[in-house]
Every structure is written in C-alpha cells, then in structure tokens.
Amino acid sequence: MDSALQDSGLYEKHDATWWARSTWFEVRDMLHNAGYIMAAQRAHYQAMPQLPEVSSMLGHTSLRDVFGTVQRDGSNELLLDYIRRALEQGHNDYPMISGYTRFMINPETRVIAVDLNNVAGDKTPAGRLKTGIMYLLAGQIAGGDFTLPQYRDEVLKQLPREYHEIALKRINQLDQEVKTKVYDELHNARGIDFIWENLDTQEREQRKFAIRTVLSTQYLRDYPESVLKSANTLWLLRYKPEDIPVLRDNFNVPEFMLKRFLKMPEGPAPDGSGVPVLGVFRVKSGTLARILKFTVGPLELWALNSSPKDSALRKTLTNKLGSVRARKILAENFPRGSATSLIEHRAGQHNSDNVIEELASELIRKQGYNL
C-alpha cells in the first residue's frame, strides 16, 4: 500500500498531519479512485475491526441499555459478559481469524484449495468444535462470494456509486457460471451436527443459484440421513454390504446391481480401462443407476494415486526432479498409474532396505540426456 501511495502521487497530496488523522477507509477510497484496486482491497482489510475490538463495542450505551441486565438461559451470567468472554476465547484459540485479513484472492482465480490438515481439531468436544469452525471457514474463504448474485440489489444499494462497476463485474461473472464447493475428508466432521446442518442447507438452497456442493468421504455411513435424502447424485467407488439397504430403499438402486458392483475389483483395472464406479442420479423422471468406469490418463492417475508405495515413489522423484517432471517419468514408465506390483516383486527378490529409492534412481538414469 505504501508503494501504491508513492507511485500514484497520492502521498504527496497531503501533509503529515492529514495522514496522521486519516482513516483506512479514506486511504481505500483514494487508492480505488486512482486505479490501484489490489492496494485498495488491502486498505479495506486494515479498515475492518479485529476480533478483540468487537468485544469493546459491547460496552456501548445503546447495547447496555437494552441488554445490560439480560442473563443467559439457566445461568446467572449476563448475556453481554458471556459474549465478551466468548469473543476473547475465540481471539486466543483462533489467531488466524482474530487479526487482519492477509489472504487476498484474485477475482480471476478459478480453483482454490484450502488444506485443513494442520488446523483440524481432535475428537474432544473442543477439538470437534475447532474442526467444525475450520471447515466452515474454508468454505467461506473459497466460495464466500458465490451468493453475491442473489443480493445484487442490496449490494448496489449499500455501495458508493464509484464501486458499482467493479462489483457488477464480479456479480455478473458469478451469475453466469456454475460454481462448485468441494468438501473432502468429511469423515473428520462425523458427529459434528452444526457442520452437516450448514452443508445440508447449502446443498438444498444454493443449487438453484448454480452453486453445487460436493461432499466427499470414505464411508457412506459418514453422511447423516438428511444429507443422503437430499443428495442429487452419488458417486460410489466402494461401499460395504451393510450399506445396501440404504442405497436400495432410499435411492431405489436395484439390489442385484449393488451386489454385482461389490464383486468387481477395487481400484484401476489391470487392463488400464479405468476405475469402476457406481453412479446414482436423481432426475425428474426417477432414479438412474449405472456401473461406469472413470477413464483418466496416466499423468492424472499418478497425480491422484494415494497408495503408500506409489506415493513414496512419486515423492522421492518429486524431491529430486520436481512434481511435473516426476509425474511425466512415472506416466511414461507405468502408464497404468501404479508401480506397486513391481515394487513388491523387487522387495521379495532383492536383499535391499530401500527398493523405492533404488527404483527412483533407476528411472532417473534411464532418462539419460532427456532428463
């Protein structure tokens, strides 16, 4: 922001006294009007109150006059004191949401991934609450503006006119596209009701605004019954025999098809034809269920492969050559997307503690001058 103020000549238009008294809102407007949109957005972040500052607002006379003597249900604690305590605890427990926003997303961005592995909580009540908050925060980060077209008139009414052009550009862009939110590894949220209630509401209400919600997990039983009942489409790579009644009774999938799919081999077919998947689609005329195959190329197979031995080989090559080159070498040498059988064969034949490291070195030597 300092560079933008200097480059635009805005800094020189006012003296030190004016700058000392100016607000971040004024700085934002100046930068925006000068065409420094990204810097203006950062100034807007600075203008927003932090979580600790919100608690200080609870002492405002207008709030004290109305809610000052109100107590929490079943407690002698005053409601405003409880809210202040909760805000202070949130500030201490969630530092990533208690300060100024630093993560800025370009409106032209098409894919956003938020890794929750290091911020999800444990299985204690406090840990499950943390997991829930992080899942919902990730959804807000990645797709919080997806609903803007629904509130077009309200947004324009509240915004100063000089911001209408840029706001309308984003609103029209979102209105013309199909948006998708994908929540993966949702078995971590099993039993955390407020997450599922929120996701279920999203899935039901936002589909008519071209917002798709995709929920992914390892077992069918991880989903609450309400989510399964409202789902339009199921993609099943595997399920357990005890899941057959749910699929048969709730989705009208023929039982013979469900049993037949369970007899099919898991994972990529040995002939390279793809990965078997059971697709269940609810349409206006009824329910369609088909056994299909995902056919993807070797590069994508290697990118998505999560088996321990293949992942270790890919990681070893990536550390040496980078991810793009590593996947290309693996795809050329193992076009079916797996080297597990060769690794296991060599482990049984060779007296070596590190077959994967040796195989990686062999693949690199094989490239010769083409590396």
pLDDT tens digit sequence for 11-50: 999 999 999 999 999 999 999 999 999 999 999 999 998 8
Phi, psi of 292 (to 5 degrees): -120, 180
Question: What is the rounded radius of gyration, in angstroms, for the C-alpha atoms of the chain?
Answer: 27
371 falls in which pLDDT band (50, 70, 90)? Answer: low
In the chain, pLDDT over 70 holds for what percent of residues? Answer: 98
Write down the pLDDT at residue 369: 66
321 falls in which pLDDT band (50, 70, 90)? Answer: very high
Lowest mean pLDDT among 56-60, 101-105, 325-329, 333-337: 101-105
- Per the CB < 8 A criterion, the answer to whether 64 and 28 are in contact is no
Average pLDDT of the chain, as a whole number: 89
- Stretch 129-144: mean pLDDT: 87
- Per the CB < 8 A criterion, the answer to whether 215 and 155 are in contact is no
Residues 6+ apart with CB under 8 A from 52: 87, 88, 91, 98
283 falls in which pLDDT band (50, 70, 90)? Answer: confident
